[in-house]
């Protein structure tokens, strides 16, 4: 298949297991039309302050976000645990101790060969200078170019070996940084699958995407560039100091006097710019969230003339990102000119002192040349630290965001002691015993819900918007855990099952279809990956999808594009129904499954669904009450409670809440 398929979702029969289902707002209990799932673009004009804007966006619903709160670092905050982020990053690097040791050895060797070069090159300068002086004084035959050539060839060889060693350590470190990035992305992807659904009610999709893309990329680039540079800089600094002391202790002390000034300057600027680099990463996640939302809801934005408001919202976030990035890079950009000034000041002083010592025959001319080269090299490591300081700050900000995500509380652990229920022994009975549940602590959605469903029964759940119908299904499949009470399947608490085995008992068809970029056959096969082509075709026939599939240019091999826009909404629904048919589950859940098809197709699907539901427990969530007349039991919900239950005829005869809902579908306004 073109895309990797999550085996947990597949075996569980999460027929629509998409991010959109995961990120539904906790206050929305019924399936919504596409327009209802979008945040009103006009509300974006009300967001004035950056922090208030982030909080409001995380409170609002819509694609890629859910309910209140947010786990990402808020702009303006300093890293909450800088040392912990560094410790976690070093833990990932710990798996590559040998490779990093190789990098260290070759970096040191490369540095040593490069450091020795100027000292030897100074010997050539001295030989040339003294030869010329001797020739002028008449006491010699001039420079010995054979000796000078030998010295130059030696220096050339040293630099060549240094370059080879530098290439090797760079190659090894690039391999290490890419493997660390690979493991981080793998762990983030695995973490996404282990996080509870409630997490995605609080966090924007774009923010999660930013962590797995931008933040990991920052870490990768920093490890690749900065680690070897730091090793080389430290080794160079130590080696150069040794060589400088071997030439002149006085000039070395003068050079060292510039070091505290340089380090103090770097530390001061880093302390001021760190928070701006953290802001930059956070606002980048915010901008990604806006782009993902507006692109995913492009049709709705166009339909409601929301382009201007969407652009204003993006410009506001983009301007805030620009301001944070400008401050961060401006402060870090101050380092280079200030460092160059300090370096040039020390260079001038060394030249003056060196000339004075050479005049007094304390040191040779070649030693002055070598020392000046070492002086430049001595400033280089400090300058390199200044250059990579902004990268290091970004890395720690990005690493903290990544590891904050990886440290998020996961789903309640499953039983691993061998006492989990065997799904093969479970019948289709379902019980709800005094269930209480709320998506947030301050708002209860389900209040003391109790119901008994026998195996093979066809159960309809009806009620107004926000009554808790879809929430019941989420609790049944253990997308969320109840606060009190119990949900039983086959007489066993759902908490006694392994999650994938529990969800493997269910087949689910939602109003919001989800297809991925693969062939039609692969999309149907998503519920059971080992299904043969014949089984896929048979499922499509039961779902009344075979006819339209065979009329397509490539039939079952037609590749559905990324947005699934090359087939109609009704055709998408038929494919998801075929997916449920192929799974052949013990319990079937239909959540407004026929809402996107025409009346004629709906009648065909109803016949197919009746055949599919025969002999298995079925839950049907419907707004059009005419579609559930033949249900064995209808549960009427209002404000989280069952207010009525019975058959269609019984409930109509009772002339209560259900009768009011049913008759309201046929009411016609009297005013013209």
Q: Which residue has the higher pLDDT, 620 or 121?
A: 620
pTM above 0.95, yes or no: no
Average pLDDT over residues 88-114: 86
pLDDT tens-digit map of 306-335 = 788 888 888 888 888 888 888 888 887 777
Q: How far apart are the first and last CA of the chain?
A: 56
Least confident piece of the model among 56-60, 185-189, 476-480, 496-500: 56-60
Query: How does residue 417 score in pLDDT terms, banded at 50, 70 and 90?
Result: low
| Average predicted confidence (pLDDT) for the chain | 76
Burial class (CB in 10 A: 0-12, 13-18, 19+), 264: exposed
Top-ranked range on mean pLDDT: pick from 164-178, 498-512, 591-605: 164-178
Average pLDDT over residues 248-268: 78
pLDDT tens-digit map of 183-203 = 999 999 889 888 888 888 778
| HSE (side-chain half, CA atoms, 13 Å) at 218 | 25
Residues 366/368/371/377 CA torsion (nearest 10 deg): -90
Nearest to 197 by CA among 3, 9, 54: 9
Are 488 and 421 in contact by the 8 Å Cβ rule? The answer is no
Residue located via tokens 């048919």: 581
In the prediction, which pLDDT does 595 show?
64
Least confident piece of the model among 47-56, 319-328, 407-416, 502-511: 47-56
Task: Examine the pLDDT at 34 and tell me if it is beyond 70.
Answer: no
In the prediction, which pLDDT does 209 show?
83
Helix (H) / strand (E) element for 633: namely strand 633-638
Decide: helix, strand or coil at residue 131.
helix
pLDDT tens-digit map of 559-588 = 988 777 788 877 888 888 888 888 888 888
From residue 328, alpha-carbon distances to 263, 270, 287 in Å are 19, 9, 17
Are 340 and 209 in contact by the 8 Å Cβ rule? The answer is no
In the prediction, which pLDDT does 332 show?
74
Task: Examine the pLDDT at 45 and tell me if it is beyond 50.
Answer: no
In the prediction, which pLDDT does 386 show?
63
Give the C-alpha separation, 122 to 151, whole Å. Answer: 9
Nearest to 280 by CA among 222, 333, 328: 328
Query: How does residue 533 score in pLDDT terms, banded at 50, 70 and 90?
Result: very high
Decide: helix, strand or coil at residue 592.
coil
The residues, any chain, with a CB within 8 Å of residue 593's CB and separated by 6 or more, are 509, 510, 511, 573, 576, 577, 605, 609
In the prediction, which pLDDT does 666 show?
66
Q: How many CB atoms lie within 10 A of CB 282?
A: 24
Query: How does residue 390 score in pLDDT terms, banded at 50, 70 and 90?
Result: low
Give the C-alpha separation, 209 to 152, whole Å. Answer: 55
Nearest to 415 by CA among 497, 481, 488, 500: 497
Query: How does residue 383 score in pLDDT terms, banded at 50, 70 and 90?
Result: low
From residue 182, alpha-carbon distances to 177, 186, 210, 219, 220 in Å are 9, 6, 15, 11, 9
In the prediction, which pLDDT does 416 show?
65
In the prediction, which pLDDT does 249 show?
82
pLDDT tens-digit map of 149-163 = 888 888 888 888 888
Q: Which residue has the higher pLDDT, 377 or 217?
A: 217
Task: Examine the pLDDT at 476 and tell me if it is beyond 60.
Answer: yes
**What are the tokens at 313?**
């919202």
Decide: helix, strand or coil at residue 667.
coil
Give the C-alpha separation, 672 to 667, whole Å. Answer: 14
pLDDT tens-digit map of 459-468 = 888 888 777 8
Least confident piece of the model among 3-17, 263-277, 473-487: 3-17
Sign of the dihedral through C-alpha 350, 355, 358, 364:
positive
- Strand pairing category for 458-462 and 587-591: unpaired
Task: Examine the pLDDT at 256 and tell me if it is beyond 90.
Answer: no
Average pLDDT over residues 408-435: 81
Give the C-alpha separation, 233 to 384, whole Å. Answer: 7
Average pLDDT over residues 388-392: 69
Phi/psi at 248 (nearest 5 deg)? -160, 120
* Helices of type H across 248-297: 249-296
Phi/psi at 431 (nearest 5 deg)? -135, 135
Task: Examine the pLDDT at 58 and tell me if it is beyond 60.
Answer: no
Task: Examine the pLDDT at 521 and tell me if it is beyond 90.
Answer: yes
Task: Examine the pLDDT at 112 and tell me if it is beyond 90.
Answer: no
- Three-point CA angle 472, 473, 474, nearest 5°: 90
Average pLDDT over residues 626-630: 76
Top-ranked range on mean pLDDT: pick from 32-36, 201-205, 348-352, 479-483: 479-483
Burial class (CB in 10 A: 0-12, 13-18, 19+), 577: buried
Give the C-alpha separation, 338 to 176, whole Å. Answer: 34
Q: Which residue has the higher pLDDT, 85 or 2?
A: 85
From residue 135, alpha-carbon distances to 140, 507, 584, 610 in Å are 5, 99, 102, 112
Average pLDDT over residues 12-18: 37
pLDDT tens-digit map of 636-666 = 888 878 888 888 889 999 988 888 888 887 6
């Amino acid at each position: 298949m073109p895309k990797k398929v999550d085996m947990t979702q597949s075996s569980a029969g999460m027929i629509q297991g998409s991010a959109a289902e995961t990120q539904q707002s906790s206050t929305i209990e019924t399936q919504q039309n596409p327009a209802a799932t979008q945040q009103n673009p006009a509300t974006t004009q009300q967001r004035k302050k950056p922090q208030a804007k982030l909080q409001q966006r995380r409170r609002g619903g819509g694609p890629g976000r859910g309910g209140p709160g947010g786990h990402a670092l808020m702009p303006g905050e300093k890293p909450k645990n800088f040392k912990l982020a560094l410790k976690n990053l070093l833990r990932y690097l710990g798996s590559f101790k040998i490779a990093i040791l190789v990098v260290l050895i070759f970096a040191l060797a490369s540095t040593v060969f490069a450091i020795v070069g100027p000292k030897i090159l100074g010997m050539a300068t001295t030989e040339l200078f003294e030869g010329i002086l001797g020739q002028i004084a008449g006491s010699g035959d001039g420079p010995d170019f054979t000796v000078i050539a030998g010295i130059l060839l030696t220096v050339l060889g040293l630099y060549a070996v240094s370059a080879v060693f530098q290439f090797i350590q760079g190659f090894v470190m690039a391999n290490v940084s890419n493997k660390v990035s690979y493991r981080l992305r793998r762990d983030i992807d695995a973490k996404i699958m282990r996080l509870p659904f409630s997490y995605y009610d609080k966090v924007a999709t774009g923010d999660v995407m930013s962590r797995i893309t931008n933040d990991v990329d920052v870490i990768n680039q920093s490890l690749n560039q900065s680690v070897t540079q730091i090793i080389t800089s430290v080794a160079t600094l130590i080696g150069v100091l040794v060589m400088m002391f071997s030439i002149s202790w006085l000039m070395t002390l003068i050079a060292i006097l510039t070091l505290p000034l340089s380090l103090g300057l770097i530390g001061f600027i880093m302390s001021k710019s760190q928070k701006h680099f953290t802001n930059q990463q956070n606002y980048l996640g915010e901008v990604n969230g806006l782009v993902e939302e507006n692109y995913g809801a492009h049709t709705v934005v166009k339909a409601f003339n929301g382009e201007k408001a969407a652009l204003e919202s993006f410009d506001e976030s983009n301007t805030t990102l620009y301001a944070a990035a400008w401050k961060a890079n401006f402060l870090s950009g101050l380092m280079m000119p200030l460092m160059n000034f300090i370096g040039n000041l020390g260079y001038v002083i060394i030249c003056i002192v060196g000339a004075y010592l050479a005049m007094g025959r304390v040191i040779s001319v070649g030693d002055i040349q070598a020392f000046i080269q070492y002086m430049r090299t001595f400033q280089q490591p400090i300058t390199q630290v200044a250059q990579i300081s902004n990268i290091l700050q970004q890395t720690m900000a990005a690493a903290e965001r990544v590891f904050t995500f990886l440290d998020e509380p996961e789903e309640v652990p499953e039983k691993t002691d061998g006492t989990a229920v065997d799904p093969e022994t479970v019948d289709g009975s379902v019980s709800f015993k005094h269930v209480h549940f709320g998506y947030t602590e301050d708002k209860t959605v389900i209040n003391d819900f109790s119901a008994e469903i026998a195996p093979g029964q066809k159960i309809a759940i009806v009620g107004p918007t926000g009554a808790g119908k879809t929430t019941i299904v989420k609790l049944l499949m253990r997308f969320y855990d109840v606060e009190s009470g119990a949900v039983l399947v086959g007489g066993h608490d759902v908490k006694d099952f392994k999650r994938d085995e529990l969800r493997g008992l269910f087949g689910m068809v939602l109003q919001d279809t989800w297809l991925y970029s693969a062939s039609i056959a692969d999309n149907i096969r998503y519920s059971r990956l080992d299904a043969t082509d014949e089984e896929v075709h048979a499922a499509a026939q039961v779902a009344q999808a075979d006819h339209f599939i065979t009329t397509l240019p490539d039939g079952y091999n037609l590749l559905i594009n990324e947005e699934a826009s090359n087939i109609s909404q009704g055709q998408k629904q038929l494919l998801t129904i075929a997916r449920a048919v192929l799974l052949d589950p013990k319990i079937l859940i239909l959540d407004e499954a026929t809402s996107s098809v025409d009346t004629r197709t709906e009648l065909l699907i109803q016949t197919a669904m009746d055949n599919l539901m025969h002999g298995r427990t079925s839950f049907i969530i419907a707004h059009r009450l005419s579609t559930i007349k033949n249900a064995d039991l209808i549960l009427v919900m209002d404000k989280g409670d069952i207010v009525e239950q019975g058959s269609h005829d019984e409930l109509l005869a009772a002339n209560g809440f259900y009768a009011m809902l049913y008759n309201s579908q046929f009411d016609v306004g009297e005013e013209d």
